[in-house]
Structures are given as structure tokens and as C-alpha cells.
């Protein structure tokens, strides 16, 4: 979406109903001025206590554009302040409540002055900001209670009340997207936690109507969120769980259950979901990997699965939405894991949308395991499709094509289940570079190329390339032991041929390169 187009309604921040609510109006809505928490407890939100001490006495400039074009918006979610709430809950130490009060009141006093650089998008009064602050400030109200002063408490209550009023007006009709889905879920949570407010039932009715529309129109038939990103899917599912905690009937909705099944389908034996499209690594809680190979047709992901190996093939559409489309410029690309770790990997999502490599690395075709056609831009209207998905005890087979280049690209991927290797055949009427990325540099090994260290892959082309192109770039690397995914380096192997015809075998190993099975080329697509 062009940054010149506003992604939300024209500004509708009422000066006294939302932005600066008078004390009398606040107390009239609450029916009193008691700071004691007598409501149901909110669904927990925020970061753990680690890091709270580093915030004590910290000097913060809430107007500083040095945070970055996009990160400035995220900074005003106030999530970074929530360790203070967790630390107070654990210790009862008044220092943490005092520090929250000091920082929150600074934010409240400066919020009208902050200016963002996304045209038409207010830093404070936009969906994700309102949604996030409602989560974190509601949690702080419940935990801190009378540990903060009267003025701070009023400003916190006004933040939640004004935000709910704004969200109810902003989302009076359906619009696709993770912002909208998450925000209406939080509006329902707010309505049920603060059910004594005169407007609460009206908010709840608006929120429930939108949530049901999102479940029917923003969640695909296979359970995947519209944008096809595991990270944003997880964000929407977490928001839905938060809403279901106060509105239990939502947990019985078929799409709610399907959203959890979608993560299970993509989940590896290491407990993580790959960072497909704009996404981080997702570590689902309370979800076990699905059994067997399957095809998520509505989302455009084919999954091969054995006891050891896991493959995801992307053949879905390019989905444009909001300020930045979360789809990448690649189709028929794949990721492979084995023994719980990546073997064939991709760039995934960036650490920030302000990252200088966002467009020419993370979203770019060159950071994905597919064909790159030099001199041609990859079109968004790629019309990718699955032509065949077949799974038996011996073989999993995927055949697909796309039109992202002037010439059609056809790809066949065969997974030989019992021996545990892949044969990939590509055809395009153009000079092309066949790409795969691994966790270590590639070195020549016989007729192929091997990861410098294991676990890794031996890559064997049936016909030798005319040129070998090597490169590297950043990507998150999941660690199933620590359940973290810090940024590291991935290494690209490119095999260039003028005729655009490739047959390549991928043979996994843990320590030493394997012996290539006899007759592996029988699985090549001879078209």
C-alpha cells in the first residue's frame, strides 16, 4: 500500500471524550473515584521483571525520532515499561511503582507533541498503539492499584477509557488486517474488564461483531490469517485468546480452533514455526506438531513431514496491506529443517521495518530458496499455484508454478521419505540462478557443494552450473534448547545456468557429508 494512503479513518480524536477527559467525566463514568481494583483480573500482558532495574532513573525522550520511523510508533506502545509492573507484582517494592508513575506521567504529558513520519498515521491514536496501551495499562492498573498516586491513576484510567472510545468509533465496520483484528479483540477485553462503565456493553457489541467478521473473512479456511505470516497470525491468535478469556464462547468457534491447528501444521519437531514472509520465529505454547504431510491450500503452504525432517513450500499469493505488505518477493521457495534445526533457511522478517536491508534483503528474492532471474524484477501479481500435492509412505511430491517473471517458472519437489532426501527440478525459459541458503558457508565436495559444518546439506546438481554465486546475509536462527532465535548469518549458494533448467539433489547430514544414494535422479521431473 502506498504510504500516501491513510490506512485508518480520518482523525476523529475527540478533545474531551478521548484526548483530555475531564476528571468529573471520568468519575461519572466510573461511578466513584476508588483506586482499589474490584473488577475481574485482566488477562496477563507485558514483559517479565528482568530489566526493571535498568529502568530506574532512566532518562527518556518520548519525542525522539531517533527511535526510527516505525519504531517510534512501537515505542509508544509502552511495552518496554512493563517489567516495572512485573517487578512490583513479584516484590512489592515501591520503587518500581514510583518509576512506572514517573515514566507514565512523562509520556502522558508529551503524547500530544509527538510527531510521526508515516503520512496520515498518528503515533498515539492509531489502532495498534491504542490496543497495546490498553493491554499494558490495564495490567498496570490491576497490579499497581493504590501504589501509584491519584494523578497517575486518573491518567491511566483516561488512557484506557479514551482509547476504548476511539477504537469503537474506528472499527465500526470491517477491514482486513492484523491491526484491526487485534484491536477489536482488545476492545472486547476492555469492555468486559471494565463492565461497570456505561459504554462497555456498546463496545462489546461492536467488538464481537467485528471479531466474528474477522474469523469468517480474515481467517482462511485452513485456519491461517489472511496475511500468511506466522508472526502476525500468532499476534491475532494471542489477541483472540485474550478476548476469549473474557468471552468464553469465542473459544468454541471453528476458526479459533483452526488457527491453532494452522500453527501445528507448520510447527517443526524443534517446537518452532519458520519465519515465513514478514515474521519472526514463532514458539507456540500448548501446541504439538501436526502428524504427517499436508497441504494448507487456502494459505498456499505445502508441508512435508517425517520423523526427522520438515519442509514448507510457499506457493501462496502476495498480500498487500497497511503501510508495508508483509509478503515477500518469492514463490515456490522452501525451508527445510532436520534434527530440530534449520538446514535450508531464508531471511525471514527484519528486526525492524526501519532496517536498511528490509527491501533489498529480507523481502528480496535473493534471500529465498527459489530461482532468481537476473535483470528482472519479481512482480507482485505472481499467480502462484499448486499443480500437484501427493503423499505416500515412500514419497511426498509437490508440483507448482508461478508467473512472477516474464517467463513461467515450474518447480517439482520430491521428498524421498525412507532415505530422507529431496530432489528439486526447475524449468524457466530464461537464464536463472538456483538458490539455497544454509547456516554455514558452502564448499566444493565432489560434484556438489556441502555445508561447511553439520547439521547441513550436500547439494548436488545433475548438470554442472556455468557459474557459482556465493553470498550471505542476516537471519534469525532458532535454538530449540533455549527457545530463542537471535540473528546470525546465513550463506547462499547460487547455481547459474543460461538454459534455466535445474535438477538438484539435497542430502542432509549431521556430522559428515553423506554418500549419495544410487538412482536418486529417478525422482527428477523430466519435462
- The SS3 call for residue 449 is strand
| Tens-digit pLDDT profile for residues 239-258 | 999 999 999 999 999 999 99
| Tens-digit pLDDT profile for residues 430-452 | 999 999 999 999 999 999 999 99
| CA distances in angstroms from 203 to 191, 200, 227, 270, 523, listed in the order given | 6, 5, 26, 41, 58
Alpha-carbon gap, residue 146 to 38, rounded angstroms: 12
Alpha-carbon gap, residue 244 to 66, rounded angstroms: 38
| Tens-digit pLDDT profile for residues 157-182 | 999 999 999 999 999 999 888 999 99
Alpha-carbon gap, residue 350 to 134, rounded angstroms: 26
Cell of 239: 489477541
Give, for all 527 residues of the chain, the pLDDT tens digit: 333 345 789 999 999 999 999 999 999 999 876 777 888 999 999 999 999 999 999 999 999 999 999 999 999 999 999 999 999 999 999 999 999 999 999 999 999 999 999 888 999 999 999 999 999 999 999 999 999 999 999 999 999 999 999 999 999 999 888 999 999 999 999 999 999 999 999 999 999 999 999 999 999 999 999 999 999 999 999 999 999 999 999 999 999 999 999 999 999 999 999 999 999 999 999 999 999 999 999 999 999 999 999 999 999 999 976 667 889 999 999 999 999 999 999 999 999 999 999 999 999 999 999 999 999 988 888 999 999 999 999 999 999 999 999 999 999 999 999 999 999 999 999 999 999 999 999 999 999 999 999 999 999 999 999 999 999 999 999 999 999 999 999 999 999 999 999 999 999 999 999 999 999 988 887 77
Predicted TM-score (pTM) of this structure: 0.95
Sequence-distant (≥ 6) Cβ neighbours of residue 431 within 8 angstroms? 373, 374, 496, 497, 498, 499, 500
Q: Where are the domains of the chain?
A: 30-170, 172-266, 277-523
CB neighbour burial string for 345-381, b if at least 16 within 10 angstroms, e if fewer:
bbbbbbeebebeebeebbbbbbbbbbbbbeeeebeee
Cell of 343: 538446514
CATH code reported for the domain at 277-523: 2.70.98.70
- The SS3 call for residue 252 is helix
- The SS3 call for residue 363 is coil
- The SS3 call for residue 54 is helix
Amino acid at each position: 500500500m502506498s504510504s500516501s494512503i491513510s490506512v485508518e479513518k480520518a482523525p476523529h480524536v475527540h478533545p474531551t471524550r478521548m484526548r483530555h477527559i475531564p476528571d468529573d467525566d471520568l468519575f461519572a463514568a466510573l461511578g466513584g473515584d476508588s483506586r482499589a481494583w474490584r473488577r475481574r483480573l485482566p488477562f496477563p500482558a507485558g514483559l517479565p521483571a528482568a530489566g526493571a532495574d535498568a529502568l530506574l532513573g532512566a532518562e527518556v525522550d518520548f519525542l525522539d525520532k531517533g527511535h526510527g520511523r516505525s519504531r517510534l510508533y512501537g515505542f509508544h506502545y509502552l511495552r518496554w515499561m512493563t517489567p516495572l509492573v512485573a517487578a512490583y507484582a513479584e516484590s512489592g517494592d515501591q520503587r518500581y511503582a514510583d518509576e512506572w508513575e514517573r515514566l507514565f506521567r512523562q509520556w502522558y504529558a508529551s503524547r500530544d507533541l509527538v510527531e510521526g513520519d508515516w503520512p496520515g498515521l498518528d503515533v498515539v491514536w492509531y489502532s495498534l498503539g491504542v490496543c497495546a496501551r490498553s493491554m499494558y495499562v490495564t495490567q498496570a492498573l490491576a497490579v499497581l492499584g493504590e501504589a501509584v498516586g491519584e494523578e497517575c491513576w486518573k491518567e491511566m484510567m483516561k488512557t484506557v477509557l479514551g482509547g476504548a472510545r476511539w477504537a469503537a468509533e474506528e472499527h465500526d465496520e470491517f477491514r482486513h488486517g492484523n491491526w484491526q483484528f487485534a484491536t477489536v479483540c482488545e476492545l472486547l477485553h476492555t469492555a468486559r474488564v471494565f463492565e461497570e462503565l456505561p459504554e462497555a456493553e456498546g463496545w462489546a457489541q461492536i467488538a464481537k461483531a467485528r471479531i466474528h467478521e474477522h474469523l469468517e473473512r480474515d481467517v482462511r479456511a485452513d485456519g491461517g490469517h489472511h496475511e500468511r505470516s506466522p508472526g502476525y497470525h500468532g499476534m491475532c491468535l494471542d489477541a483472540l485468546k485474550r478476548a476469549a478469556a473474557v468471552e468464553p464462547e469465542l473459544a468454541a468457534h471453528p476458526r479459533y480452533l483452526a488457527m491453532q491447528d494452522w500453527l501445528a501444521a507448520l510447527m517443526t519437531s524443534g517446537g518452532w514455526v519458520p519465519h515465513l514472509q514478514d515474521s519472526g520465529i514463532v514458539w507456540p505454547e500448548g501446541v504439538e506438531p501436526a502428524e504427517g504431510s499436508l497441504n494448507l491450500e487456502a494459505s498456499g503452504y505445502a508441508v512435508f513431514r517425517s520423523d526427522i525432517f520438515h519442509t514448507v513450500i510457499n506457493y501462496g499469493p502476495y498480500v498487500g496491506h497497511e503501510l508495508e505488505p508483509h509478503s515477500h518477493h518469492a514463490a515456490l521457495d522452501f525451508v527445510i529443517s532436520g534434527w530440530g534445526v534449520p538446514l535450508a533457511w531464508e531471511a525471514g522478517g527484519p528486526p525492524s521495518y526501519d532496517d536498511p536491508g528490509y527491501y533489498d534483503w529480507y523481502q528480496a528474492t535473493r534471500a529465498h530458496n527459489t530461482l532468481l532471474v537476473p535483470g528482472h524484477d519479481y512482480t507482485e501479481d505472481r499467480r502462484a499455484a499448486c499443480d500437484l500435492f501427493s503423499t505416500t509412505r515412500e514419497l511426498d511430491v509437490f508440483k507448482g508454478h508461478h508467473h512472477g517473471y516474464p517467463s513461467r517458472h515450474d518447480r517439482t519437489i520430491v521428498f524421498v521419505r525412507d532415505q530422507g532426501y529431496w530432489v528439486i527440478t526447475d524449468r524457466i525459459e530464461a537464464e536463472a540462478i538456483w538458490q539455497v541458503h544454509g547456516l554455514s558457508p558452502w564448499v566444493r565436495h565432489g560434484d556438489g557443494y556441502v555445508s561447511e559444518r553439520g547439521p547441513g546439506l550436500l547439494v548436488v546438481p545433475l548438470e554442472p552450473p556455468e557459474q557459482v554465486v556465493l553470498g550471505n546475509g542476516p537471519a534469525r536462527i532458532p535454538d530449540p534448547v533455549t527457545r530463542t532465535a537471535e540473528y546470525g548469518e546465513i550463506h547462499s549458494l547460487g547455481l547459474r545456468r543460461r538454459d534455466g533448467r535445474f535438477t538438484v539433489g539435497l542430502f542432509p547430514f549431521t556430522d559428515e557429508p553423506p554418500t549419495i544414494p544410487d538412482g536418486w535422479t529417478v525422482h527428477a521431473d523430466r519435462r
